[in-house]
Every structure is written in C-alpha cells, then in structure tokens.
Amino acid sequence: MRILSRESSAEPGKWRTERAEYQRGMMDTVNDPAVETITIMSSARIGKTEILNNIIGYFIDQDPCPILMVQPTLDSAQHWSKDQFAPMVRDTPCIENKVAESKTRDESNTILHKSFPGGLIYITGANSPIGLRRSTIRVLLLDEVDAYPPSAGVEGDPVKLAKKRTVTFWNRKIIQTSTPTIKGISRIEAAWEESDQRLFHVPCTACGMFIVLHWGQLKFDKSDLSQVYYECEHCHAHLLEKDKFTMIREGRWIPTLPERGSMLAFTSTNSTPRGPHGEQW
C-alpha cells in the first residue's frame, strides 16, 4: 500500500486512485506483458511523477529488477531522490525495509544509486551521458522528456541513449511522461504520434453517452457569467462541477489506433502542443 508523504503531497496518507480515476488505466498497463512502451502526454499537475513513483514502488516490492529513472537534469534527479523517493520509501511499509538508506561510503546506496533485494535503481539526469550509458536496465522511466536537453553532452539524444540500456530484456518497460511544449519539436508529441493514442472517455450524466471532453464545450451561463458548465455535444445538457467526479469515476481509456497494442499513450484534449507563439493547435 502506497503512503503519500507529507513532503510531497497536499493530502498525505493512503494513496487512493479513486481520487483521480484516470490514473488507474495508466498504472494498470504496466502489468500487461503485451505492452512495451507507455506514453503519458498531459497537462501539468495531473500526477505524472506520482504515477512513476507508484510504478517504481511496485517493481521494488513485487517484481524486482534493474530500473533507471531519468529526470531533466542531474540536479533535478538529486532533488527527486531526496524529496520524493526517500520519503516514499520511509513511509510505505511494503518497501521500507527493502531499500537501504543512503550512505556516503556505500556505493550500492547513494543518492543516485539504490539497491534492493533482486534489483536496483539508478537515478540520473538527461544531461549526464555517463548516467545514461553505464548500466543495463529492464524498466526505464523518463520524466518530463520535453524538458530534456537536445543532447547529453556530445553523445546525442538522451532518450535514445537511455532506451539502448533496455535492449537485452525481452520484457522491458519504457514509461515516458511530459507536458508538451512546441509542436513539431516536442518529444512527447512524437511518441504520441507513434502510439495507439488513447483518449479518456467519460459518460454524460444526463444521456449516458460517452464523450471526450473538449475546451470548446466549456461555456458560461449568459445570465450569470460566474457560472460555468460543460455542454454535452449529444444531448446538450449542462454538466456542472458536481457531475465531474461521477463522470471521471466511470470513465474509460479508449485507443484511437488499437492495432498499435504494444505502444500505449494516454492524453487529454487540453494537453496538445502549442505553436511557436503559444497558440493552441
């Protein structure tokens, strides 16, 4: 059972997926042996890094193996290790005694290198070529890839360098996340284009039809501009904030291109890349 730490959560305590039901599908696909690559392209603050933290905790506890976590920079990698990973280990009973505390003189357990029974986790930045090529790993986690530098030193694209570390594992998992940046150069957009392009469909609480939420359907009440509602494109019902929890709880991820079954991607319609001047595409 994952426990959210007070250092990294506004609501510390037991993790409850039902608070953000759309996260369930993102995490469950990690256990699908047919899935190799999982891409999450989303708006900010939907819990992308916490999803990666949960995935790491799962592998430490249930399926130990070599893992690589890549943050945009070496500095952000150290912050993630100290501010998120260490508190998660401390507060989550099922992994608390499996990961040793960091020790300056113990090379197997430092801020950027943690060992546990049956596996280990390397933590590095996308700007560190040494960290990207020094190990063979089965599970690769790439956080906020659109913030990565174009090249890790002189060695080329950090995403490609990191993926090479997984080639010897038939059951490898590659999970990449990011809020998209500029259309045409966004790494997460390119990964999305190669995937099955899943969208989150939610039921209208009035007519029951499943819909994908679009900004264009969010409207203001003309008699009271402080009131906002979502207009169902099927029955034109006015859906309010109180309807949101039910809609999300009963939502489902549906792939646009299901034939790409080994390369899954999750996105919302409000997380598309922007043009060079910030315009929405």
Bridge partners (DSSP) of residue 254 are 199
Which stretches within 32-128 are classed as H helix?
48-62, 74-80, 86-91, 93-96
Fold of 3-197+256-267: Rossmann fold (3.40.50)
pLDDT tens across the length of the chain (281 residues): 888 888 777 777 888 898 889 999 999 999 999 999 999 998 887 888 899 999 999 999 999 999 999 999 999 999 999 999 999 999 999 999 999 776 655 666 789 999 999 999 999 999 999 889 878 999 999 999 999 999 998 889 999 999 999 999 999 999 999 999 988 889 999 999 999 999 999 999 999 999 999 989 999 888 777 789 999 999 999 999 999 999 999 999 999 999 988 888 898 655 554 444 343 33
**Given this model, what pLDDT does residue 134 score?**
74
**Given this model, what pLDDT does residue 264 score?**
85
**Given this model, what pLDDT does residue 261 score?**
83
Q: Which of 55, 86, 79, 276 is nearest to 177 (CA)?
A: 55
CA 112 – CA 74 distance, rounded (Å): 9
Q: Kindly report the pTM of this predicted structure.
A: 0.88
**Given this model, what pLDDT does residue 47 score?**
85
* Contact call for residues 267 and 261 (beta carbons, < 8 A): no
Own/partner long-range contacts of 163-172 (Cβ < 8 Å, ≥24 apart): 164/133, 165/68, 165/132, 165/133, 165/135, 165/136, 165/137, 165/140, 166/136, 166/137, 166/138, 166/140, 168/136, 169/136, 169/137, 169/138, 171/33, 171/138, 172/36, 172/138, 172/139, 172/140
Tens of pLDDT, residue by residue over 24-48, are 999 999 999 999 999 999 888 788 8
